[in-house]
Structure 1
Amino acid sequence: MPNGAQALVRTLANAGVRVCFTNPGTSEMHFVAALDTASEMRAVLCLFEGVATGAADGYARMTGTPAATLLHLGCGLGNGLANLHNARKGKVPVVNIVGDHATYHVKYDAQLQSDIETVARNVSPSFVWTSQVTSELCRDAVAAVKAACSWPGQVATLILPADVSWGEGGVPEPAPVIEPPPLADDAAVQAVAAAIKAGGRSAILLGGTALQEQALLAAARIAASCGVKVFAETFPTRMERGAGLPGVERIAYLAEMAQIQLKEIDTLVLVDAKAPVSFFAYPGKRSYLPHDGCKVLTLSTPAEDAAGSLAKLVKALGAEQATPELAAPSRPGRPRGNRLTAEKVCKAVGHLLPENAIIIDEAISSGLMLSKFTAGAPRHDLITLTGGAIGQGLPNAIGAAIACPDRPVIALIGDGSSMYTIQSLWTIARERLNVTAVIFNNASYSVLNVELERVGAEKIGPKARAQLDLHGPVLKFAQIADGMGVRATRVTTPDEFTDALACSLKRPGPHLIEAVVPPALSGLKLKLLPHLLGSLDRVPLPVARMLKRKIAP
């Protein structure tokens, strides 16, 4: 009869868990040994727990099924907490296996003893469980997988004491039965249909799974038939976009711009989304962004089938025959000039983006023009920073590349955020993943310079400014990448960047391009920032001209 760890690994494999991202310690050694008993489960070593949790997040975003993490005690879970927060906000299924001291060892309060359950509840509010008996371990694991996979996806945490892991008498369990999500009920559909038919300016806000093809097409049919505006949430978990799909404008990051987008909307319909709120509170500014006269209705909650619910609404509105407006194929030209800027990097991405690529966007301020330059590019998926905890992008790239080995992954990362999980490069090299990481090296937390002014901070002196500056020493990402086994190059001109990106796309495998650029927001007036930080798919022509003058001389 297998021990607990062997039975647990077999149970996870039975449940369709095909990858385990690991950062193990002593308490997890029996689980590590058991990994060899399940040939269908891939084990991927990560040098930091935040890489493991972010990789599991990226994997699940692309497959819709959970990967497992293997973490060492409460401290290891704590190290991975930021990217589990992003997964929770993105409604992404993840199964954490967190090792613990043997049950009889807990009373001695050894150096690594901690309250793991309390730590876990920050990111696993619906499922945290400590197994106590080897014979029941696999039933606990099935419950964890079922919780993670139930609609909407969530982070489930199973705590595995060492003696439960090494104990004899483990009994593997079959896969759990996962019930499909229900559709929106008829009353909700009819209420939304009535509000749209009543006239006035209506908009649909899509989030979560509503940003994939079938839901996008249904929303576009409603837009074409009824004149409804369609928005996407600011930070999508996964958004399908590009030529041949409906183009959807994202709600702006800056509250001021979001209020402009929403100011004429009389009825806002939520589909797997929440009503927009500002990312932070600001003195004298609104937190809840729909105006006071806007009626907010929910078509479907995150626990319901977004595409199916929109299909019901299409039928209720008689929009089945409407022709959805689709993005036409288009690419920007090759960027020119002697000075590389963040805008020109984004332009080069749009110029070269291959079919079926996956873009990971954690470029922060440097990615302001990415949506504009890729709106008509070949079809691709976009993953963004759902929970706002930086350090997600490079780990997400690991998970996405393992989930979709036949698809190129381009990760656009700010220099400051990349340093949170720079260890990802080692795993990318070790696993030989088809990832091109672009690091925008502007030696600044650029967006925070804007926020410093927006929050109304006064008397900003050199000590304060130094907290947002990455000079002295300037980070050398090409050298860091080379030290971790990733082929890397440092570029300073548009031609150098475009050639480097073209080379990386022709030669699959790990690549890093360090793009030395000025801060994307340098020299810009604050009144222009709402147009920039909104990352809108359709930037008005006058704004585009101003951008060209300001950041692409």
Structure 2
Amino acid sequence: MNGAQSLIRTLVDSGVEVCFANPGTSEMHFVAALDTVPRMRGVLALAEGVVTGAADGYGRMADKPAATLLHLGPGMVNGMANLHNARRAHTPIVNVIGDHALTHKGFDAPLESDIDALTGWTHGWSRTSTDTASVGKDAAEAVAAAREGRVANLVLPADVSWGEGGEPAAEVVPPARATVAADRIAEIAGVLGESTVVLLGAGATRERGLRAASRIAAATGARLFAETFPARIERGAGLPAVDRLGYLAEQVQWQLTGVTHLVLVGAKAPVSFFAYPGKASELTPEGCAVHTLAEVGEDTADALDRLADAVAEGVEPVLQAESRPALPSGDLTPQNWAEVVGALLPEGAIISDEANTSGLMIPMATAGAPRHDVLTLTGGAIGQGLPVAVGAAVACPDRPVVCLQSDGSAMYTISALWTMARENLNVTTILLNNRAYAILRVELTRVGAEGAGPKANSLLDLSTPDMDFVAIATGMGVPATRARTAEELAEQFERALAEPGPHLIEAMVPSLI
């Protein structure tokens, strides 16, 4: 058995059964080995940003890692932006990064690079397999590290991959999440009140954590918020409704007005997304004490349950009632397109949300819709929406995936549409086309940049030439339509949801700016 075969067999024996791939020459023995391990599903993407973003979406929904297959250092570089988002989401991923044969490393071939520096940038687990006999063990340890909520990077030199003498290794079981100590629960119980905010992050925005947090709020008067960009938040009728912290610093400061205690649950204290002249970076109010109920990596849901039992015995959570906006009419606007989604969102949907400025009304419009999950742009590196939708659809083939995508961000990873078509994934993409980088128009003013004129504005304009996303999607094998009115969007959205496979609707909306 060669190294690649032992690697893949170890991965599947450890529960990693999907590999999103964009391979090259150094990875050909891995590619060939896929036919010897039928349980491993290979999913081809045409760009590494789609590979890594899809692995992120898969991990968020499957609660276990997918593998990626990347071609040397340049291939990893191309996937780095969505690995950044995955790191911020604490998504389990196993990156298999091909490398030159160890015997070839010293010749400084054109694709030679410092892969160690790149893997270190993910702040995860990294190792280079230098011996075929150890590849299985290395793979098992990579999966265990990923299951702790990290990006695991396993570098596989070509000669280690093709070398004989490999053996699959037994699964390595990672340690259980640490349980929060009783004295910390007691400390937090003592600060809860009407001037307290509980901020929910990793692991706390699923049903169990949300129900416990709602009990705590109902009993003590504390207010609840989720992080601005949660990795995965469960929402809809029958679940507690929790608002997210705003994107703009001014919004967060308003939300935290009068707060004297901030309790973190798998989250960090809020900071401004960017620096602005004359404005604070830290957004915790002056004089507010910050407390940590549970760190990232600790059992946040268990901590919330125990805190609820301590302060809210017999108190039931406050659940969102079922409600839908009425179907709107007339030309599409940044507001009414969201009402169409809220009115028609199906039960069990998974929303991959990269609608950006055009999606400000989506949380309100979908609050009372049937239960659904929302996956957000955790690290702020755009180009996530379409690939994350791919991964979510592979992880949950029995659930409809709705990708809410903005035009500029879509172009970063537009080839994800091809993978949707190739795999016949049940993804309906609503692509909001306002022909602008609208968020940057906002930021141009907010950073105090003076004297912006035609040259500056031209760098934020996407209308010269206009992009035809219907033609782009159709050319990649995805049926596509265009909507200019709320009625057209509703009809096309309903039809797309009713038909299997991928669809794209180009929704023509005016810019908010």
Alpha-carbon distance in structure 1 between the residues aligned to 2:395 and 2:426: 11
User: Counterpart amino acid of 1:161?
Assistant: P
User: Counterpart amino acid of 2:324?
Assistant: R
> Are the counterparts in 2 of residues 270 and 300 from structure 1 also a CA contact under 8 Å?
yes
Q: For 1:321-340, list aligned pairs within 5 A.
A: 321-337=314-330, 339-340=331-332
Which residue of the partner structure matches residue 209 of structure 1?
A: 203
> Are the counterparts in 1 of residues 140 and 169 from structure 2 also a CA contact under 8 Å?
yes
Alpha-carbon distance in structure 1 between the residues aligned to 2:41 and 2:96: 15
Which residue of the partner structure matches residue 94 of structure 1?
A: 93
Fraction of identical pairs, as percent: 57
Q: For 1:35-114, list aligned pairs within 5 A.
A: 35-114=34-113
TM-score scaled by length of structure 1? 0.92
Alpha-carbon distance in structure 2 between the residues aligned to 1:382 and 1:113: 39
Could you say what secondary structure the match of 1:342 adopts?
A: coil
Shift of 1:472: 1.0
Which residue of the partner structure matches residue 466 of structure 2?
A: 474
Alpha-carbon distance in structure 2 between the residues aligned to 1:432 and 1:442: 28
Which residue of the partner structure matches residue 261 of structure 1?
A: 255
In structure 1, stretches of 5+ residues that fail to align are: 523-553
1:13 aligns with 2:5: no
> Are the counterparts in 1 of residues 194 and 223 from structure 2 also a CA contact under 8 Å?
no
Which residue of the partner structure matches residue 424 of structure 2?
A: 432
Which residue of the partner structure matches residue 177 of structure 1?
A: 173
- CA-to-aligned-CA distance 1:384-403 (integer Å, 9 cap, x gap): 00000000000000000010
Shift of 1:119: 1.1
User: Counterpart amino acid of 1:13?
Assistant: V
Shift of 1:508: 2.1
User: Counterpart amino acid of 2:326?
Assistant: G
Which residue of the partner structure matches residue 286 of structure 1?
A: 280
- CA-to-aligned-CA distance 1:406-442 (integer Å, 9 cap, x gap): 0000000110000000000000000000000111111
Which residue of the partner structure matches residue 377 of structure 2?
A: 385
User: Counterpart amino acid of 1:47?
Assistant: L
Q: For 1:146-161, list aligned pairs within 5 A.
A: 146-150=144-148, 153-161=149-157
Alpha-carbon distance in structure 1 between the residues aligned to 2:60 and 2:104: 38
- CA-to-aligned-CA distance 1:315-350 (integer Å, 9 cap, x gap): 222x1310211100000011112x111222111000
Which residue of the partner structure matches residue 530 of structure 1?
A: none
User: Counterpart amino acid of 1:315?
Assistant: D
> Are the counterparts in 2 of residues 54 and 392 from structure 1 also a CA contact under 8 Å?
yes
Q: For 1:369-380, list aligned pairs within 5 A.
A: 369-380=361-372
User: Counterpart amino acid of 1:136?
Assistant: S
Could you say what secondary structure the match of 2:180 adopts?
A: coil
Q: Which of 220, 237, 243 is the aligned partner of 2:237? A: 243
Shift of 1:506: 1.0
> Are the counterparts in 1 of residues 358 and 406 from structure 2 also a CA contact under 8 Å?
yes
> Are the counterparts in 2 of residues 45 and 427 from structure 1 also a CA contact under 8 Å?
yes
> Are the counterparts in 1 of residues 357 and 439 from structure 2 also a CA contact under 8 Å?
yes
> Are the counterparts in 2 of residues 263 and 290 from structure 1 also a CA contact under 8 Å?
no
TM-score scaled by length of structure 2? 0.99
Could you say what secondary structure the match of 2:320 adopts?
A: coil
Alpha-carbon distance in structure 2 between the residues aligned to 1:320 and 1:91: 32
Could you say what secondary structure the match of 1:413 adopts?
A: strand
> Are the counterparts in 2 of residues 19 and 42 from structure 1 also a CA contact under 8 Å?
yes
User: Counterpart amino acid of 2:349?
Assistant: A
Shift of 1:200: 5.4
Which residue of the partner structure matches residue 442 of structure 1?
A: 434
Shift of 1:366: 0.5
> Are the counterparts in 1 of residues 322 and 368 from structure 2 also a CA contact under 8 Å?
yes
Which residue of the partner structure matches residue 494 of structure 2?
A: 502
Alpha-carbon distance in structure 1 between the residues aligned to 2:6 and 2:257: 57
Alpha-carbon distance in structure 2 between the residues aligned to 1:132 and 1:365: 47
Which residue of the partner structure matches residue 26 of structure 2?
A: 27
> Are the counterparts in 2 of residues 408 and 508 from structure 1 also a CA contact under 8 Å?
no
> Are the counterparts in 2 of residues 234 and 251 from structure 1 also a CA contact under 8 Å?
yes
Alpha-carbon distance in structure 2 between the residues aligned to 1:37 and 1:49: 24
Could you say what secondary structure the match of 1:141 adopts?
A: helix
Q: Which of 127, 142, 149 is the aligned partner of 1:144? A: 142
Which residue of the partner structure matches residue 219 of structure 1?
A: 213
Number of residue pairs matched by the alignment: 513
Which residue of the partner structure matches residue 129 of structure 1?
A: 127
Alpha-carbon distance in structure 1 between the residues aligned to 2:337 and 2:501: 20
In structure 2, stretches of 5+ residues that fail to align are: none
Could you say what secondary structure the match of 1:421 adopts?
A: coil
Could you say what secondary structure the match of 2:464 adopts?
A: coil
1:274 aligns with 2:268: yes
- CA-to-aligned-CA distance 1:230-287 (integer Å, 9 cap, x gap): 1100001000000000000110000001001001111110000000111001111111
Alpha-carbon distance in structure 2 between the residues aligned to 1:189 and 1:96: 37
Could you say what secondary structure the match of 2:208 adopts?
A: helix
